[in-house]
Amino acid sequence: MIYLSENIEFPNVSEANEDGLLAVGGDLSCDRLRLAYKQGIFPWFEENQPILWWSPDPRFVLFPDKLKISKSMKQVLRNCNYTVTINKAFEEVIQQCSKIKRNGQSSTWITKSMIQAYSKLYELGYAKSVEVWKDDDLVGGFYGIDLGNKVFCGESMFTKESNASKIGLITFIKNSNYKLIDCQVYTQHMESLGAEEIPRHNFLAFLI
């Protein structure tokens, strides 16, 4: 196991174990987080755990030109009365996402320190939120990191009404020019939209 020092640096991702765990420790400063994402690394840990840094191989990604929209979803998109916005309610989105538990974890992975760190990234223009509204109610959304090189690293999403988060994601992708959406690790939800696993070295090539 590799333990990080105060220096803002990471070991080569090839040193990650078979589950993708690369390193432990460090901090959630904006500089460290930005370096992590640029190197294909992201934090994922629970409350009362040390900070854990991951770089899984294979990587789960979505190529926008492979986005799958079912016939039923196309009908929902035509008939829904939702409004999709960007960067209108970042704090509310991340707070809602923090209430969602990932499979295999006993508590939320979006801790208070994570909320503070990503909110700071948002203030600096490196994080982005997408909101789905029904009238004045926030019913879905997601947030992530915009690397500025046509790669968006999705972090977490939530939905309060059926298909709300899907509507937000599909609308976001169709109105953006990203080459790649990083989904990090496999989920059935994202696979249904066309996400796939690719070798880590192929993913890293998009970050250069």
* Percentage of the chain lying above the pLDDT 70 cut: 96
Residue 26, token pair as written in the block: 């460090």
Taking alpha carbons only, the member of 73, 99, 19 closest to residue 192 is 73
> pLDDT value at position 104?
54
From residue 47, how far is each of 24, 43, 55, 79, 114 by CA, in Å? 14, 12, 20, 41, 10
With b meaning 16 or more CB within 10 Å and e meaning fewer, what string describes 90-122?
beebbebbbeeeeeeeeebbbbeebbebbbebb
> pLDDT value at position 109?
78
> pLDDT value at position 178?
96
Q: What are the strands of the beta sheet with 21-25, ordered from one edge? A: 2-4, 21-25, 52-54, 42-43
Helix (H) or strand (E) holding 123: helix 112-123
Instruction: Find where tokens 């939530």 sit.
Output: 158
> pLDDT value at position 103?
57
> pLDDT value at position 1?
73
Instruction: Find where tokens 């999705």 sit.
Output: 154
> pLDDT value at position 99?
87
Which parts of the chain sit beneath pLDDT 50? none
> pLDDT value at position 102?
57
Q: Could you report the per-residue pLDDT of 97-131, keeping only the tens digit for each? A: 998 765 555 556 799 999 999 999 999 999 999 99
The domains of the chain, with CATH numbers, are: 2-54 (3.30.70.3550), 59-205 (3.40.630.70)
With b meaning 16 or more CB within 10 Å and e meaning fewer, what string describes 2-24?
eebeeeeebeebeebeeebbbbe
Residue 103 DSSP one-character state:
T
Predicted TM-score (pTM) of this structure: 0.93
